[in-house]
Chains A and B, each alone.
Chain A
Amino acid sequence: MKELKIKKTSINGQSFKPPNGLELPISHRGKQIAKSMLWRRIREKSISAFFLTNGLIAIVILLGIFSLLFIEAFPAIRKIGLMAFISKSNWNPTSFVKESYGILSMVVSTLMVTFGALLISVPVGIGCAAYLADVASPRVREVAKPIVEILAGIPSVVIGFLGIVLVGPLLGKLFGISNGLNAVNGSVLLSVMSLPTIISISEDAIVSVPQEFKNASLALGANKWQTLIRVTLPSALSGIIAAIMLGMGRAIGETMTVLMACGNAPAMPHSFLDSVRTMTATIAIELGETVQGDIHYRSLFVIGFILFLMTFLVNLISDMVLQRFQKRGL
């Protein structure tokens, strides 16, 4: 071994002893090690198999819901015909004279209140998100986050209740009608329910816009507002669209609020001031009146299946939009 010249040779005065007298299985050979190693491997493998099983549960549940809805719904579709379901607007499954299963009215109702809700919650939500992400001081942001969370946590039945006792009468006075339980009421309340979703996801999207973009814009002489409108928001567009889609999904799927506040008239609505009954409300109202297994019962599952597909589609689109979001590196 060559002697090496090093500049520092001080030793701290402690002698260097390897640890002694302590037993740990140091030797690498020997049956004992092989056995404990095998045991350890088996244990690790079974633990990871356990976790894998858990991971698959989500897929199992999703497929389970899909299949069960379909299995229950299919006999009705087969008997009545898919076209009769989706193209007719008369829903009267308990009629003595002629039953009909047209879901068009309720689909239109669902879309009306959803659209009305988005009309309110999209501008307010994005505006609020832009404010929090770009304009507000960190302290305000700290306070705002819990506020949005608390708003999100208010149960739908409470919102529906307020629709009955507060917003409905208010609308009645405003529009000069006797009963304020209509699509406008539903839209207003649903906008409150979809706001937190739109706000938080949009805010995430706006915050993730790289600082370099904003700096470049400012360096070119734009002020903060112009930067926000022309650079930041367009860059965050995919995330914002995803937020809107998810908010839309929430509105489509909401049950209690619309059940309590929209009036529940099954006829095809002609204006926003009409009382409407959405797909979700129909299920909620009629399931209790059906006999298990009969056509009426199964047709409610058809509605449920269609609802499932609608929210699945909305999620899929928002996923695709977000994927492009990530691909572009924005």
Chain B
Amino acid sequence: MSDIKLNIRNMNFFYGNLQALLNINMNILKNHVTSLIGPSGCGKSTFLRSLNRMNDIIIGTRVEGKILLDGEDIYDRNIDVVDLRRKVGMVFQKSNPFPKSIFENVAYGLRINGERRINKISQRVEQSLKNAALWDEVKDRLNDSAMDLSGGQQQRLCIARALAVQPEVILMDEPASALDPLATQKIEELIFKLREHYTIVIVTHNMQQAARISDYTAFFYLGELIEFGETDQIFTRPKLKKTEDYITGRFG
């Protein structure tokens, strides 16, 4: 029986007076890929960003309920948000490398944690780039600007950057939506490999992608979690009509 990495209980989310998420209850299993699907604006990204408290930086947001990471409520007052974000890493929809060198991008997380030993940093950078399937392409030009890379390479760089701080969970918000099919394929292969050692939650608009790479799927609609289950079951024998309608393309 797999462990539960993230346990979400009765979670409600508000932007000021507007309720964006309604009574979400869900378990995210360790070392599996969970995908969040649903039409635009249904709260998937909001939910994802709640898992590493990135919504905190938006003014006026409020969370009710509990989100437990390994049994600890991440919204507890004693929790160090900075530490949380190291454990729960994020890759954004639009890749956002820093305007620094490739090396410095990946090393960033280490440096802000106080790591100064250059050989440790170099080792970690190399390992992360290898794990992100980018090392071969950039190993000769680590000091070049990250902005010179292609879109797909930049996204893999952002993944390497997130891996460098050794997170336990990786959140991905439509990581391949801005990429061409070939780059998308590379990202999907990467995700498939990464789940051996990381817990992955991925938001995607692309249902084929969800079907391809995830173990579990959660279907969101208008801020509610409609159905959650093993991907295979969701896509072949959905329990609720709404799920079936979305999957077969009747709306969305």
Interface residues of A (CB under 8 A from B): 1-2, 4, 6-8, 10-12, 14, 16-19, 21-26, 28, 33, 37, 40-41
Contacts and interface: CB of A to CB of B under 8 A. Distances in A.
Contacts of A2: 215, 230, 232
A119 B127 CA distance: 71
Nearest to B193: A16
B134 to A, nearest CB: 11
A300 B130 CA distance: 75
B130 A14 contact: yes
Interface residues of B, number: 35
A14 B192 contact: no
Contact of B188 (A8, A12, A14, A28): A8
Contact of A16 (B32, B120, B197): B197
B232 to A, nearest CB: 7
B212 A6 contact: yes
B2 A7 contact: no
Contacts of A1: 2, 32, 215
Interface in B142-191: 165-166, 185, 188-189
B96 interface: no
B140 interface: no
B166 A12 contact: no
Nearest to B194: A16
Interface centre among A4, A10, A33, A41 (most CB of B within 10 A): A4
Interface stretch (B6-14, B42-50, B79-87, B239-247): B79-87
Interface of B: 2, 32, 70, 72, 80, 82-83, 87, 110, 113, 115, 120, 123-124, 127-128, 130-131, 133, 165-166, 185, 188-189, 192-194, 196-197, 212-213, 215, 230-232
B130 A26 contact: no
B232 A12 contact: no
A25 B72 CA distance: 18
A294 B230 CA distance: 88
Contacts of B127: 17, 19, 22
Most buried by B among A6, A8, A10, A28: A28
Contacts of A24: 110, 113, 115, 165-166
Given A1-B32, A6-B213, A12-B189, A22 B124 contact: yes
Given A1-B32, A14-B130, A33-B83, A7 B212 contact: yes
A37 B232 contact: no
A16 to B, nearest CB: 5
Contacts of A8: 185, 188-189, 212
Give the interface centre of A7, A19, A26 by most chain B CB atoms within 10 Å. A19
A23 B124 CA distance: 10
B123 A28 contact: no
Q: Name the residue in B32, B83, B231 with the highest tally of chain A Cβ atoms < 10 Å from its Cβ.
A: B83
Contacts of B192: 6
B83 A19 contact: no
Contacts of A11: 189, 193
B124 A37 contact: no
28 contacts: A1-B32, A1-B215, A2-B215, A2-B232, A4-B215, A6-B192, A6-B213, A8-B185, A8-B212, A10-B189, A11-B193, A12-B133, A12-B189, A14-B130, A14-B133, A16-B194, A17-B131, A19-B123, A19-B124, A21-B123, A22-B120, A22-B123, A22-B127, A23-B120, A24-B110, A25-B113, A26-B166, A28-B72
A48 to B, nearest CB: 14
Contact of B231 (A4, A25, A37): A4
A71 B197 CA distance: 71
A38 B70 CA distance: 22
A37 B80 contact: yes
Given A6-B192, A14-B130, A16-B196, A28 B213 contact: no
Nearest to A33: B83
Given A16-B194, A18-B197, 11 more contacts: A2-B215, A2-B230, A2-B232, A6-B192, A16-B193, A16-B197, A19-B124, A22-B124, A24-B115, A24-B165, A28-B72
10 nearest CB pairs, A to B: A19-B127, A37-B80, A18-B197, A16-B193, A6-B212, A22-B124, A22-B120, A12-B133, A2-B230, A19-B124
Contacts of B189: 8, 10-12
Contacts of A10: 189
Contacts of B72: 28
